[in-house]
Chains A and B, each alone.
Chain A
């Protein structure tokens, strides 16, 4: 395989397969909770923190290739976005959807302003920052893949362990509360998983399209399944397959951003599934 697609692509492929699996796995619950828009807003809110993380690591003289500081900045920024959404919803007359739209656009706009400023600075390496917007696996290093892979496995493990309480929480929050799983804890767990998936997905699919990883495989799986367990598993497999195929195609055809290719592939799977389940339904 490595002779066919090269060492770097093989590395990225491993990362994409694992990330695709766990994002589909977590995404099934985000979809059922109807929290897709919140996750999109969270993803866009990573941009200012990402750029600030880049500036901090540049001025501190940390090796630019180290993405840890950037991802940390992205996480803090996204968390701040969520806090702002919650504050607007709780303390003003504005609705949840308005809060989401406001945070998404304002944080992203502010991030673009920062990015434009950074690009005119006389420091190297800032070209790679755009990779986080649309996704690019070309520059992925072994350490990136190890990080993405391990965190993906942890997220999927959490979904397996908390499968019952998460299901109960989404379907009937009082039941989960009475069974000893407080609603605020389950809500926090799902938000945390969404945040972590978003952060580790920045490099592979980019912040604009990471919401698709959490939504489209889940929607596709929902068409074929009638239970939460089978739906989340199928969603994980769809996510993994799409991410894997997308990474290979974007490696073979240079200049194609991996995130965009992955989304196109997921959309094709969704389209075929809509047609397929519709035909199956009309036969029954």
Chain B
């Protein structure tokens, strides 16, 4: 297996008739926590959609563990932004995590007690075992995020893509989720998250991709997440108040 979870070269993607990202190239190391950081409209969501193989690309190539994303789909799991989900949908915590098994179960295969155990064990991994029967409408933001992480775990995906996992979540829940992500990394998962809070990038992540239509820098946070690179990405100077760096 290649040491790169994702390798992108010269990628250009149009979205709604506009060039959303242009000539993007980077690699994501396997078994690392990687942040995608950039200003609004930088094309972060478009990049995630392209990585998932959901939208056509104009030029360039994407490979996941050395193969096309479409062929790798069942090993990729995606955690959407919480705002994109209808939390009034009639489903329990258990039901949502069980959806992670749908691709494995197919149309009609029986949901066995072994499947049930896997769902319960994934819920234990995110410390939500006691909430299995709870309706998803009755969860806090942090709990909702943990349910989706349990769904990724039950999918047994090797690559987990998250769109702003910490959006609108309190500090305590954020720490719990970071712990879960680090544990998954230790189990050999590669994790990529769109992230907004510049002040926590170095604390939470191993690697970073700085994006504004094109990639301004990528690599280990210590090398790539420099003041110069951040200013270049955001097109402004004096970001010290955001990053807490001198």
Contacts and interface: CB of A to CB of B under 8 A. Distances in A.
Interface in A152-174: 161-162, 164-165, 167-168, 170-172, 174
A164 B92 contact: no
Contact of B90 (A168, A174, A178, A231): A231
B95 to A, nearest CB: 6
A179 interface: yes
Given A178-B77, A226-B135, A227-B92, A165 B107 contact: yes
Contact of A164 (B54, B74, B105): B105
Give chain A's interface secondary structure class. helix
Nearest to A182: B54
Interface stretch (B21-29, B78-86, B215-223): B78-86
A108 to B, nearest CB: 31
B73 A180 contact: yes
Interface in A188-234: 222, 225-228, 231
B54 A177 contact: yes
A167 B77 CA distance: 17
Interface residues of B, number: 23
B91 interface: yes
Contact of A180 (B89, B91, B103, B108): B103
B64 interface: no
A165 B102 contact: yes
A171 B107 contact: no
A178 B99 contact: no
B162 to A, nearest CB: 12
Interface in B49-89: 52, 54, 73-74, 76-78, 80, 85-86, 89
A165 B135 CA distance: 20
A171 B85 contact: yes
B99 A168 contact: yes
Nearest to B54: A177
A162 B107 contact: yes
Interface residues of A, number: 23
Contacts of B102: 164-165, 168, 175-176, 179
Contact of B78 (A174, A228, A231): A174
A256 interface: no
B89 A32 contact: yes
A30 to B, nearest CB: 14
A174 B52 CA distance: 9
Contacts of B77: 178
Given A165-B102, A178-B76, A226 B92 contact: yes
Nearest to B76: A178
Nearest to A178: B73
Nearest to A176: B102
Given A174-B80, A175-B78, A164 B107 contact: yes
A28 to B, nearest CB: 9
Given A161-B107, A164-B105, A178-B78, A172 B85 contact: yes
A227 B108 contact: no
A234 B85 CA distance: 24
Contacts of A171: 85-86, 89, 91, 96, 99
Interface in A67-92: none
Nearest to B89: A171
Given A175-B102, A179-B103, A222 B52 contact: no
Contact of A228 (B86, B90, B108, B135): B90
A228 B85 CA distance: 16
Contacts of B90: 32, 222, 225-228, 231
Most chain A CB inside 10 Å of its own CB: which residue of B73, B76, B96, B102? B102
14 contacts: A161-B107, A164-B99, A165-B102, A171-B85, A171-B96, A174-B52, A175-B102, A178-B73, A178-B78, A179-B102, A179-B103, A180-B74, A227-B91, A227-B92
Given A165-B102, A227-B92, 18 more contacts: A168-B99, A170-B89, A171-B86, A171-B91, A172-B80, A172-B85, A174-B54, A175-B78, A178-B74, A178-B78, A179-B74, A180-B74, A180-B103, A222-B90, A227-B90, A227-B91, A227-B95, A231-B90
A-B pairs with lowest CB-CB distance, top 7: A179-B103, A164-B102, A179-B102, A178-B73, A174-B78, A171-B89, A231-B90
Interface of B: 52, 54, 73-74, 76-78, 80, 85-86, 89-92, 95-96, 99, 102-103, 105, 107-108, 135
